[in-house]
Chain A
Amino acid sequence: MSAVVQLLLRRLGISLIVLVGVSMLVFGIARIIPGDPARIALGPNATVEQIAKLRSSMHLDESIVVQYGHFIKDLSRGDLGMSLYTNRPVTLDIAEFLPATLELVIVAGLLMIGIGLPLGRWSARYRGRLADHVIRLVSLLGVSAPSFVWAVILMLLFAFFLPLFPIAGRISDTYTIERVTGFLLVDTLWAGNFQAFSNALWHIVLPAFALALSGIGQAARLTRANMIETYDKPYIEMAQAYGFSGRRIANRFAFKPSLIPSLTIIGLDFAAMLGNAFLVEAVFAWPGLSRYGVAVILRKDLNAIIGTVLIISATFLLVNLIVDLLIAFLNPRIRHSQRQTS
């Protein structure tokens, strides 16, 4: 266990360094913004004094290094500044919108694992046969379009032409659910309201699928490739010689070892989903962080842009940390090495 703890600490350290780097990068990007953010924030009727006051309260008149210092100091207190767009603390806005996005991404991630891995396993087991070809083609199609195209196609097919699913939102407005975690699927269960839970579930199906499709394709392709590599190993031949069933060989000897490299990529795909949520949320009017992100970017709301990107990156690092740990538990050989598998 100590080796795992050591690994955890090391990855945590690296993640922190990376996070500081991300904050510098994002901060740098946000400060080369053209136009005066204070003036944009206050709108066309603002007076010169009001603008000057806001500029000084945002430290816009000081050097970028000093500005960054202020930023880090505030950040350590959990203060990301005020959003100029909503007039509320950025942390409050993020706390409000992040759960909806995470809920969507997590459900999509579950779909990716729950559908992608079995498809890949199946494809590898029946390598070269019809099922394999069909799965390969379909999964390649899945990765061949941006998620907004899938979102539009799914919406058109399953919300407009076959009105099976709702077109927008997270839950029907006849339900009032007390906010506990912000995750509707959790909050509805917490409240013991199963009808509301199924309603929320019904709302998340299309957006989650749109978001997951390319991930499903990716996971299936990857699992197949890794399993086929394993199938060529001598111990499989031995297992076959011993007379283990094809199914047992697939599950036990080929699938499990191939999980490890797949997991790393799944971590990366999770990242891609955090980004792609921007597209899917726009199509399905999903009230998440991404919609907020696009809105603040269009309005050049500095604090909110920095806060949003930083939070998304931190989430992503956290996921990768968890993935690394999982790998360490699954495969003792990896404990001592770096992430070479990627």
Chain B
Amino acid sequence: MKYWKAALAAAVFASTTVTAVAETVLRLDEVAVGELDPAKASDYADSILMFNVYDTLILPAQGGPGHTGHLAESWSSEGNSFTFKLRDDVTFQSGNPLTADDVVFSLDRMKALGSGLSYLFGVVESAEKVDDLTVTFNLESPYAPFVASLVRLPIVDKKLVMENLGEGDGDMKDWGTAFMSANSAGTGAYSVKSHNPQEETVMVKNADYFLSVADAAPDTVRLRYGLEAATVRALISKGEHDIASQWLPPEVVSALAKDGAQLFTEAGTGAFYFKMNTTKAPLDDANCRLALAHAFDYSTAIKMIAISDDISAGSAATGAIPVGMYGSNPADQILAQDMDKAKEYLAACKYDPSEMDIEVSWIAEVPLEERFALLMQSNFTALGIKSHINKMPWALFAEQVAKAENTPHISQLFVNAVTGDPDTLLYGMYHSSTPGTWQSPEHLNDSVVDEMLDAGRSAASPEDRAAAYSKLNARLMEIAATIYGFDRQSVFAASNRVKAPALTDASKAFGLDGLGFSFRLMEMTE
């Protein structure tokens, strides 16, 4: 009995004392499970891990276009081959020095596993070691965005991985996947202390990082997975959490901002799309698609994602390409609802509107999408078209889009350019050679679009690329395979214990999703 009382007293006591910690801890969260193997990394949580535990040959320049060296000192190109000179002062967290072998191995591994973003390197024929610190990539065909795509080629520690191969067939067994999904094998500024894909990854500062890192950068980072919105909201208010994921509903972010939280933003590489299945009646008729695209209430959509008077989770779309990328329309030519035009297009459509029943799907993991589904449904009703809403878990959606006939009429998706280049945004969505992935539920097959996409990736000069994407933009608006909801801006609510210039200062922004979360560039103020 006495003991019980003591425990209770201690409980009350524990809740009121502030534990003094000498080292600084940054706490953030993501909705998805964290994949630590960088060759399998694809979503935002994976990217945060990858950009901190691993390094890439180059990085996007901060606050502007172009790229700067990172693990590579310099690079040059000749025809379809690109040669990179590596820094000589880089060691992995294991202590092994970085060499050209590691780069070759990283590419081979990425291609062999064939998951994550490995499709970016489909055009790369081989990587060859020239000498210990020089490596050459040979491409099969001209590919303008190649250098940009290297931001998604993390360099792994060949020696360490080879020492830890798991079970599997062939020489390379499992390519170290079992090891890599639980351990770090990178050069990054942070090493993995513990990793539980459903719960949390704990990272600590790597004292031997090849670049100097500010003392104020967090000593320990705890990345937690799958927290509920209400939990994150409460934890931040209580000062027990630092940066919320971008998937918090806008109301919650705005409630936090009112309580004094700061807002981080990351913009400009993607958009929110309502993708129409162009193979399924009645949406196989472009006039019907145009009718829906004109009936959509763009301005309400923007209001729905507003967080405060001056910050929103997106800005008005101007066309098929987000503002700021090659081929985009000026920021003031925003798309707007036009019911008269919508009716005209509907009249020209070969199907009878009274017989239509449009299936509007939304991804169960992104509750905000339900509201867009409802908005669309009410817009379509105003046009006299019936529709029904279907909630789909992500896994099921990804499986169903493989076949055109199983793909819903309308799918809602956030897509972003994983390398910052428009090619990685648009090629996967619209080229006829890439149908049936989660990015391309349009199942579009349009020769003009294909031609422009190919021109955009093989053009030599930036001007030629811009021209090709500009034409592509016009064509996409003409055939309306997609309703362009808004240009996406990620907003993160954060405590005042942390400063992240790459997420608050436009001149320090990377223009690449997830890279703003390089913890080495953050500063803890407490």
Contact = CB atoms under 8 A, between A and B. Distances in A.
Q: Do A and B bind each other?
A: yes
B179 to A, nearest CB: 12
B27 A198 contact: no
Contacts of A202: 11, 14-15
A40 B198 contact: no
A198 B402 contact: no
A128 to B, nearest CB: 33
A197 B7 contact: yes
Contact of B399 (A35, A45, A160, A295): A35
A163 B393 CA distance: 34
Interface string A183-204: 0000000000011011101100
Contact of A298 (B11, B27, B228, B393): B393
Nearest to A300: B395
Interface stretch (B57-65, B66-74, B229-237, B332-340): B229-237
A299 B393 contact: yes
A86 B36 CA distance: 12
Contact of B396 (A40, A45, A166, A201): A40
B198 A292 contact: yes
B437 A45 contact: yes
B150 interface: no
Contacts of B11: 198-199, 201-202
B114 interface: yes
A35 B393 CA distance: 13
Contact of A167 (B27, B231, B400): B231
Nearest to A168: B231
Contacts of A199: 11, 14
B433 interface: no
Interface residues of B, number: 42
A292 B199 CA distance: 10
B376 to A, nearest CB: 24
Contacts of A195: 10, 14
Interface string A159-175: 11001101110001110
Interface string B381-407: 000000000000101101111100000
A127 to B, nearest CB: 30
B228 A285 contact: yes
B46 to A, nearest CB: 13
A104 B139 CA distance: 57
Given A87-B181, A167-B231, A197-B7, A287 B198 contact: yes
B226 interface: yes
A299 B114 contact: no
Interface centre among B25, B115, B198, B228, by most chain A C-beta atoms within 10 angstroms, is B198
B7 A160 contact: no
B115 to A, nearest CB: 6
Nearest to A34: B396
Given A47-B114, A86-B197, A285 B231 contact: yes
A44 interface: yes
Contacts of B222: 173
Contact of A44 (B21, B231, B437): B437
Nearest to B17: A195
A195 to B, nearest CB: 6
Nearest to A199: B14
Contacts of A136: none
A44 B234 contact: no
Interface centre among B11, B199, B228, B393 (most CB of A within 10 A): B11
Contacts of A11: none
B14 A198 contact: yes
Nearest to A292: B198
A224 interface: no
B414 interface: no
B461 interface: no
Nearest to B436: A44
Interface in B427-453: 436-438
A300 B396 contact: yes
Given A44-B437, A168-B231, A174 B19 contact: yes
The list of the 6 closest CB pairs from A to B, nearest first, reads A198-B10, A198-B11, A168-B231, A202-B11, A167-B234, A299-B395
Interface of A: 35-36, 39-40, 43-47, 50, 85-87, 96, 155, 159-160, 163-164, 166-168, 172-174, 194-195, 197-199, 201-202, 282-283, 285, 287, 291-292, 295, 298-300
Given A172-B14, A173-B25, 11 more contacts: A44-B401, A44-B437, A45-B437, A50-B114, A86-B198, A96-B196, A160-B234, A194-B7, A194-B10, A199-B14, A295-B226
Interface of B: 7-8, 10-11, 13-15, 19, 21, 25, 27, 33, 114-115, 119, 181, 196-199, 222, 226-228, 230-231, 234-235, 238, 240, 364, 393, 395-396, 398-402, 436-438
5 contacts: A39-B399, A43-B115, A173-B222, A195-B10, A198-B14
